[in-house]
Structure 1
Amino acid sequence: MSESMPSLSEVEQASREAGLATSAPELHGSLCGWLAGGGDTGGNWLARVMVDDALPAPAEGSPLARLHAAARAQFEDRDFGLVLLGPGDDASLAARSGALFDWCRGFVGAFGLAAGADPRLSGEGEEALADLARLARATAQDDGDEEDEEALAEIEEFVRVAALLLHGDCALAARHRNRLN
C-alpha cells in the first residue's frame, strides 16, 4: 500500500489547527464511516464528514489529506488492511479503549450521514452496525488486567472487520450495482 497513515500526533495537531473539536481517532472513525457508507470519496470530505461547509479542504500532502488517502487505500486493499488510528500499545488501557470508543462514535455518525436512514445491509452488516453503535456509547475503564488487554484486542479486530463488512455492503455493493445498470 503506497499511502502511509499519518501518526496520531500529526492528525491531532492538524485537527487542532483546523479548529475541529474532535479527537484524531474520532475523526478517523468519521472518515472511515463516511467511506464505508458510500460517501463521496472526492471533494472536500472534511466539510462533509464534519457537517460544516465552512471548513476548507485539507491541503494536498497535509496530515488530513494523507489520512484520507490512506483510509481510501486501506478500504480498497484486497488484504483487508484497514488500520484504526489510535494510541500505540504503550498507552494505557483506558487511553486505548477510549480512543477505540471515540473511533466507533465517529464511524457510526458519519456512516449514517453517508448511507442514509435505511441503508442496504446484509444481516451481518445490520448486526455489525448495531454492535458498533453499542461500542460508541461505551466508556473507558481506568485500569485492567491481562484479560482486559485481550478483550480490547478482540474488540479492535471486530471493529476493523465490521467496518470492512459495512464498506462491502454499502460502498462496494453500490459500485457493483451501478456497473450492472
Structure 2
Amino acid sequence: MSEVELPSWTAVHDAAAALRLGTTPAELHGALTGWYAGGGADAPDWLARVMADDALPRVPGDTPLDALNAASRTQLEDRGFGFELLLPEGDASLGERSGALFDWCRGFLGAFGLAAGENPPLSEEGEEALGDLAKLAAATAQDDGDEDDEDALAEIEEFVRVAVLLLHGDCVLAPRHRKSFN
C-alpha cells in the first residue's frame, strides 16, 4: 500500500461538482492516471490538459482534486506498487462499482492517448493490456450479481491496476531508464 492515500470518493465527487465537471470521480481519476501513465507532464493547468478542455480552471492547492493529482503521481512512481484505483466503497452495489470501473477505464484511455500519442513505446504485454482496457471501457455494468460476480470484479480491478503499472513502465519508466544510460 502506498504511503500517499487517495482522497475519498465523496470528497472528489463534491470537488468535481463544485467545478461543474461532467465526470465521475472514477473517470476523473482514470483520466488523471492515464495522463501520467502515458507520459503527460504535471503542470498547474493539469485539469485542462487531462480533460482536454482549455476552459477548465486551475485547481487550487489544498483541495481534494489537488490531493488526487498529487496522490496519483506519487502512487504511480511507488516502487512498492502501491497504486490504487479510486472507486466507490465496497458497500456500493455491484452495478455501481462495476460501472465506476468501466468509467475509470474510459477516462484512462482518453487521457493516455492524449499523453502517449499515436504510437506509444509499448511492449507486447503493454499492447495487450491496452487492448484489454479498451474492452473494459466498452463494457456495461450489470445491476446485480452473486459472489462469483463479486470475485470477478475484484480480479478485474487487480488486472486494471497491474495493466496501468505496466503501461506506465513502458511509456515513462523505460524511457527514463534509457535516458539515464546515455
**TM-score under structure 2 length normalisation:** 0.96
Partners in 2 of 1:126 and 1:144 — Cα distance?
Answer: 31
Unaligned stretches of 5+ residues in structure 2? none
Q: Does 1:80 align with 2:85?
A: no
**Residue of structure 2 equivalent to 1:180:** 181
The unaligned stretches of length 5 or more in structure 1 are: none
Counterpart for residue 53 of structure 2: 52
> 1:98-113 residue pairs with structure 2 within 5 A?
98-113=99-114
8 Å Cα contact 1:14-1:63 kept in structure 2? yes
Task: Look up the match of 2:139.
Answer: 138
TM norm structure 1: 0.97
| Amino acid in structure 1 at the alignment position of 2:25 | A
Q: CA deviation at 1:4?
A: 2.8
Structure 1 residue aligned with 2:35: 34
Task: Supply the distance in 2 between the matched residues of 1:13 and 1:102 (Cα, whole angstroms).
Answer: 17
Hey, what does 1:11 align to over in structure 2? Answer: 12
2:98 pairs with 1:97 = yes
Q: Residue 3 of structure 1 contacts residue 66 of structure 1 at CA under 8 Å; is this kept in 2?
A: no
Tell me the CA shift for residue 2 of structure 1.
Answer: 4.7
1:147 Cα deviation from its structure 2 partner? 0.5
Cα displacement (A) at 1:125? 0.2
- Tell me, in whole angstroms, the C-alpha distance in 2 between the residues paired with 1:164 and 1:21: 27
Q: 1:62: which partner in 2? A: 63
How many residues align structurally?
181
Take 1:4 and 1:151, find their aligned partners in 2: how far apart are those partners?
Answer: 25
| Cα distance in 2, alignment partners of residues 81 and 62 from structure 1 | 22
CA distance in 1, matches of 2:128, 2:32: 21
Q: CA RMSD in A?
A: 1.1
Q: Could you tell me how far 1:123 is from its partner in structure 2? A: 0.3
